[in-house]
Structure 1
Amino acid sequence: MKSATTNPSRLSNYLLAIRPKTLPASVSPVLLGTAAVPLDSINWLLALCALGCALFLQIAVNLANDFFDARSGVDSEQRLGPTRVTHAGLVSETQVIVALSLSLIIASICGLVLVAYSGPLLLAIGLLAILATFAYSGGPFPLASHGLGEITVLVFFGWVAVMGSYYIQTHHFSWHVFALANALGMILAAIMLINNIRDIPSDAAAGKKTLAVYLGATRSRKLFAILMILLPIFHCLAFLFSATPNIPGILLPLIITIPLSIQVCRELSQSEGRMLNSLLAKTAQLSLIYGAATSASLVFI
């Protein structure tokens, strides 16, 4: 790990650390969960707080990952992904911890507003989310280093974020929304999977056993294709669970997202190494496109 250096563009270094291209993964679930609520019943303050909570928790996860991977030696000169600021010495460890702490404070403030409206269940879920922020890359059993990165993303950014955004508005559970959470969760898990496929050589060398390291590149690519196949299946199930299913509402998001998911699968089969960086960004964009298209179908169709 290099020592911190003076850089005139400190803001750009922090932007590099929070990984803006991955942030659609926290916006899409809140958008989708909120759109499942009748428009005239939405409390926009709660929706905004849910978005702030999800967004700053993801920023905290990204900063924690940057910090812990530098400390553990996972980040090295072999790394093919974007520059990690702690390892590169662009931002000091202390500065990363301060930024991480500020992100958690903002997320916690937003979360406490949600707890005040929705009760202690949200408090328990929020505490688990904060614990997962550190457990993902750090602690005695880093989840990302034991093949659990994708399932962690599915649980917290799929199930918890989508269902949580819906629950704070309605105070009840919905199979319809749970199926939507799984549909979006397939894309979010796929984002993590592409990241881990790219990093197989460096992760394996550092002893970080991600799911992609366990499966190998070929089977990981097959798993990615399976996730893309499950996306429309869960989507259709969601609308079957809906009290008022309608064909246009089912078809619109699929017409938009299926061609994009096929394109991403094709590119993945032909991409290696640093070429996967742009594909990771495209998959993150796919999550936002699916979330926006499905939200639009829920609200307007």
Structure 2
Amino acid sequence: MHKAYVGEQMEYPGLIKAWLAFVRPKTWQIAIMPVLATIALAYSERHVFHPLIFLCTISIAILLQALSNMQNDLGYTQRKAETGNRKGFPRATAMGWISIRTAKIAIAVMAVLTLLNTAVLVWFGGWIFAAVGVLSLLAAYCYMGGPKPIAYTPFGELVVLLTFGITSVWGTYYLQTGGLSINAALLGLALGCFASAVLCVNNYRDREHDASIGRKTLAVVMGEENFKRLFTAILMIPYGLVCLMVLIEMSYWTYFFVMLTFPSCMHLPERMVSLKGAELNKVMLDCIYQLSVFSLFFMAGATMHAILIDLTVSSLK
């Protein structure tokens, strides 16, 4: 097996766990939950739900997230950026659990599957989704691939917001309804912020390691204090955007269900500041959890809104 990891080698965990480390399913919630929340929003606003389109949308979201994780894993190993002072989860190729050749083949297969899925979305939503699919593939590859990876710049959080927030939500909503709405725009920004917060913790945890290998992430460029303020703001924005939805149209007051998740969210900045090194991995997972519970409570509010509309219509008949 390929041996590229500079630090301590870990014992081979077995085939299944090795591949799980490569595709990182724990992060798939970042891709799945925005789709689910948007489906609920589309039903709340337009009373539409197309099951086949939903399945195609959720599958491409998972494919792109897995592909991004795989390319990230491989890219670090190829650049010999996986040094012993990194505190993140082990990378399968760096540990030698999956060979470089096997990783490249797997990534190629995933890319083909993503393109096939994109072709189906083009059939449903038009040629605009061909551009969306290609750009999403490029973003997944360029994050840690190519001559100038996004991961080596301060733009990682912005790319995540655009990809897993705006593109995911707006694309899902358009496929279901054939249009867009103000709430869809705001929801895309909100969920994109939570996705960016996950990367914020990742980059904050590895800021010393990243600086040592020439990665100028936002955490490295901004410095600790300013980056902590940014992280707090990113977590505040989604709740402000939901408040804006309700202020624009008070009939959406049930969307306020998401405010029940606010207390747990407010513990995250304090925990990021107080913990160090590998302890921050738990905070990163908690950010993913926060994205999930926010999405679930938004879904509950959107579903309740749809039910109330149905009851109102029925009572008028």
**Pairing 1:209–2:210 present:** no
Q: Which runs of 5+ in 1 are unaligned?
A: none
Give the structure 2 partner of residue 275 of structure 1: 279
Cα 1:7–1:266 shift into 2, 3 Å: closer
User: 2:251 pairs with 245, 248, 266, which one?
Assistant: 245
Look up the equivalent residue of 1:2 and give its one-letter code: K
Distance 1:237 1:245 in 2: 12
- In structure 1, C-alpha distance between the alignment counterparts of 2:303 and 2:130, rounded to whole Å: 29
Task: Report if the CA contact (8 A) 1:74-1:208 is conserved.
Answer: no
> 1:43, 1:187 → 2: CA distance?
26
8 Å CA contact retained: 1:32, 1:294:
yes
What is the DSSP-based 3-state SS (H/G/I as helix, E as strand, rest coil) of the residue aligned with 2:88?
coil
> Where do residues 120-269 of structure 1 align in structure 2 (5 Å cutoff)?
120-242=127-249, 245-247=251-253, 249-255=254-260, 257-269=261-273
Cα distance in 2 between the residues matched to 1:105 and 1:297: 37
Q: TM-score, normalised by structure 1?
A: 0.94
SS in 2 for 1:86: coil
Query: Quick one: distance in 2 between partners of 1:8 and 1:66?
Result: 17
Identity of aligned residues (%): 28
Which of 299, 302, 314 in structure 2 is aligned with 1:298?
A: 302
In the alignment, structure 1 residue 15 sits paired with structure 2 residue 20: yes
Corresponding residue SS for 1:233: helix
Amino acid of the residue matched to residue 169 of structure 2? V
Separation of aligned partners in 1, 2:247 and 2:54: 26
Whether the 8 Å CA contact 1:27–1:51 is kept in 2: the answer is yes
TM-score of the superposed pair, with normalisation by structure 2: 0.89
Deviation at 1:107, TM superposition (A): 2.3
Q: Tell me the amino acid that sits aligned with residue 233 of structure 2.
A: I
Q: State the alpha-carbon separation in 2 of the partners of residues 139 and 98 from structure 1.
A: 17
C-alpha contact (below 8 Å) 1:136/1:144 kept by paired residues: yes
Partner Cα separation in structure 2 for residue 186 and residue 238 of structure 1: 16
Runs of 4+ in 1 over 4 A off after TM superposition: 3-8
Alignment of 1:2-81 (within 5 A): 2=3, 7=12, 9-38=14-43, 40-81=47-88
Rounded to whole Å, the distance in 1 between the matches of 2:4 and 2:129 is 40
Change beyond 3 A, Cα 1:297–1:211 = same
Which 10-residue stretch deviates more, 63-72 or 94-103? Answer: 94-103
Query: How many angstroms apart in 1 are the aligned matches of 2:15 and 2:118?
Result: 29
1:168-187 deviation digits (Å, cap 9, x = unpaired): 01111211111011111111
Matches of 2:71 and 2:225 in 1, distance apart? 29
Q: Which residue of 2 aligns with 1:90?
A: 97
Distance 1:106 1:170 in 2: 25
2:110 aligned partner, one-letter code = S
RMSD, matched Cα: 1.8
AA partner of residue 29 (structure 1): P
Change (3 A) 1:3 1:176: closer
Structure showing greater Rg: 2
Gaps of 5+ in 2: 306-317
Q: Would the aligned equivalents of 2:245 and 2:252 in 1 still touch at CA under 8 Å?
A: no
Structure 1 residue 45 displacement after superposition: 0.7
Q: Which amino acid aligns with 2:39?
A: T
